[in-house]
A and B are shown apart, each in its own frame.
Chain A
Amino acid sequence: MKRKQLKFAVGSAVIVVALSYLAYSGFQESKTFYQTVPELYALKDRAYGMKLQVSGDVVAGSKTRDANDVYFTIGQEPQTLHVKYVGKAPLPDTLIDHATAMATGKLGRDGVFVADSISAKCASKYEKESAAGVPIAKKE
């Protein structure tokens, strides 16, 4: 009986160790520091080089696109961040003016944030309501 229990213990341990290793390496590969725009600027030099997810509201009218990339600005004046989106996936439909965008990527030395993925949450995604608690009536 003892030997059999040992076999189970060894089998389970191998699985657990293997999975822990995978979890650890997966974690190292994909860990991303989540920051708001002011927090990003507070990091100063440390902000360069590490993988970041920056969230901020899309500045109205800032979205432009050229042949390959899409550009927009997030944050609140005076602390705004220019984002250059270089990813392949289509931009989410929810990325509209004033929506909260989360850009994942790295901050370039030129101050432009190069993002390979963008997600955006409509300012009031499921609960369409103005700040006063009044549903927005249709403009007639």
Chain B
Amino acid sequence: MRLVLFMVALAAASAAHAQFRIPSFDLNKAVESVKNVNKAVREPSEAEEISIGRDVASRLLGAAPLVDDPALQRYINQVGRWLALQTERSDLPWQFGVLDSPNLNAFAMPGGTIFITRGLLERMRSEAELGGVLGHEIAHVLRKHHLKAIQKGAQTALAGDALSAALRERGGAQRDKLIAFGAEMYSRGLDKSDELEADRLGVVIAARAGYDAYGLPAVLQTLQAMNPQDSGLALMFKTHPAPGERLDALGERMQPVLDAYSGQAQLADRFVRQLRR
């Protein structure tokens, strides 16, 4: 909206500037500018959302490849898809991957591609804990947190038609700019409110899937006990609220749900078997 006003103001200013040559305000031109902006701020279609997410995912895989273990990758996909099936976007082409990095982190791309690092997986004790973390990432996709942030940020980098084209078509310099901006989102982080919302929804999604709802809090507690100076935590701590704050927020809002579903499955054995093979 701010952008629309800016464009209108700009059109008005340039018309005023050119008053000697063109006596009247060029309404057609102003309307055209507003139309272009409207095109750009329209909600991307689901197909566009998926394709943006995949282009960003491809970059992340350029930073860290998948762990070379097909059975582990299939396992993470089964857990993840089962969780995603409990949500309002169960039909997205969900895909999950374990990245070969000792850092502790997880990433959700628009359209349903989700990564978790080997470093974070190694710190978990059960499938319920994994379910809590994947639930949090799935929630980001459901609520389009990254898509909205990418779109909002890209509007300042790519105006009007350029952004519209970059959303629509793969390839080209504008698209590269959009995707580079998208990848950068993952090193800058989302708004705190998005992260806390994803925590609350993640707990619910894990509970729906039949897991002990305390899986996510348990992982947050593990992170909280680690040395915050640990280099493997640097990016996650930069891009997320502190684990203690996230635990406080879950305690305030989610205690009844957590307790109602605390007796559900842990599946520690199945999880450990996958990592030990």
Q: Do A and B actually bind?
A: no
